[in-house]
Amino acid sequence: MPTFTIGTANSKPGKLSYGWLDAVALPTGGMDRLPVIIAQGKDVGGPVFWITTGIHGSEHTGSIVVQQLLTQKLANELRGTLIAIPALNPAGMRTKQRSPYYLEDDPNRLFPKPGIERNKKEEKPRSSLEIAYQQLYDAIKSTNPIGLIDLHNAWYGSIPFIFRDPVLYHKKGRGRPNRQQAQALQDRTGEMIDAVGFTVVNEFSADSYIKKNLHRSVSGSILNKAGIPAITIELGSWMHVDEGIVDACTSGLRNALRWAGMLDGEYEEITGIPVIRTPYPVRRQVSPYARQAGIVHHLVRPGQMITKNQPLVRMTNIFGQPLGKDDGLLRSEYEGFVLGWFHGIVRYQGEPILGLAIRDESKLIVPFPEP
């Protein structure tokens, strides 16, 4: 009978179980520990699925989603085992900060790196959080899950959407996955994405995906290192929880469990949030940027379709007078739609203004860059 032990949490058929996974030893004694919730169906023979959230400590919707999804009622209906971590970054959550106070980097770039391991001497020792995430990665992999979904928030007022990562492959003879295996993994991930039923946005194109270390995000690492279908879902504004988005997300996650064969019943329609279907694929793009310091007047809203040359914002000085040519207008270089506003109305030169989803036909499987 498959039982799963994650830290101090032991799965029990037909029940919810709780426990802790030791993560970061604190200099003043004690530990930052990752909370673990396991919901196991009476039929324990089914697949394993993981839901993680809170690696950015200021993003809280996912924790509420996990608490509302993993109930005794779910355990009664479930086939197989659902394992959730409702707080991947407890220090950040306590202080309401994106990164934990003991780390300067983005914690969502610390999961194990995909690609062929090289015995390069490490320049500095790994942080305790990076080691903790390696242990969590090993625990996830050891359960041989059918999928993983990592929950986040994007910007104030942003629409909820799924990020689809590219799948990286090795050229002939250099390692796994090869091209065909990568395509099969991207196809399986696409089925899971379709089941969830949210707006879908592809991640940055492949070279900047690796440059930005996105292959070391939770979903990037589980997808591209462990070879398991994994996605990120962005759930609107951070530091704020919209109950409509929570409901839509729990429906989407139950749909993913149906795709996995872990829940019966019809797929639930996603309601209460915009779901945008374009006739072409889109990827994320930050644009426009402020050409000079000033005040932003927004002319478009999250969820709104945009065309090339459409005015997106008008920039003024503090007196309300237009900045630059074209009456201060910054026009769209792309077609697509608006994902969200970057925070606030004041901008220094070169600061980003909008998160966009733009038309993009680039490939979803790409080779690892040659060393």
Which residues bind to Zn ion, rule: CB under 5 A?
56, 59, 152
Nearest Cα residue to 262 out of 352, 145, 176: 145
Min separation Cβ 130 and Zn ion, Å? 17
Cβ(363)–Cβ(357) below 8 Å: no
Nearer to Zn ion, 59 or 130 (CB): 59
Nearer to Zn ion, 143 or 202 (CB): 202
Handedness of CA 244, 245, 250, 251 (dihedral sign): positive
For the chain, what is the largest distance between any 2 Cα atoms, rounded to a whole number of angstroms? 71
Nearer to Zn ion, 40 or 202 (CB): 202
Q: Which residues are CB-contacts of 265 (< 8 A; sequence separation ≥ 6)?
A: 258
* Residue 305: φ, ψ to 5°: -70, 145
Nearest Cα residue to 130 out of 143, 115, 111, 146: 111
Q: Tell me the C-alpha distance between 347 and 323, whole Å.
A: 12
Q: Which residues are CB-contacts of 3 (< 8 A; sequence separation ≥ 6)?
A: 10, 11, 12, 44
Nearer to Zn ion, 98 or 113 (CB): 98
Q: Tell me the C-alpha distance between 334 and 95, whole Å.
A: 38
Specify the residue for token string 């220090």.
91
Nearer to Zn ion, 41 or 90 (CB): 90
Min separation Cβ 59 and Zn ion, Å? 5
Nearer to Zn ion, 32 or 59 (CB): 59
Q: Which amino acid is at 172?
A: K
Q: Tell me the C-alpha distance between 247 and 263, whole Å.
A: 17
Give the three-class secondary structure for 130: helix
Give the three-class secondary structure for 76: helix
Nearer to Zn ion, 233 or 256 (CB): 233
Nearer to Zn ion, 38 or 218 (CB): 218
Min separation Cβ 60 and Zn ion, Å? 11
Q: Which amino acid is at 125?
A: P
Q: Tell me the C-alpha distance between 135 and 36, whole Å.
A: 14
Min separation Cβ 64 and Zn ion, Å? 15
Nearer to Zn ion, 62 or 294 (CB): 62
How does DSSP assign 306-329, residue by residue? E-TT-EEEEEE-TTS-B-SSGGGE
Residue 162 token pair: 């799924």
First to last CA, the chain: 45
Min separation Cβ 152 and Zn ion, Å? 3
Nearer to Zn ion, 146 or 162 (CB): 162
Min separation Cβ 362 and Zn ion, Å? 23
Neighbours of 297 (CB within 10 A): 15
Q: Which residues, listed in sequence order, are joined to residue 346 by a DSSP beta bridge?
A: 295
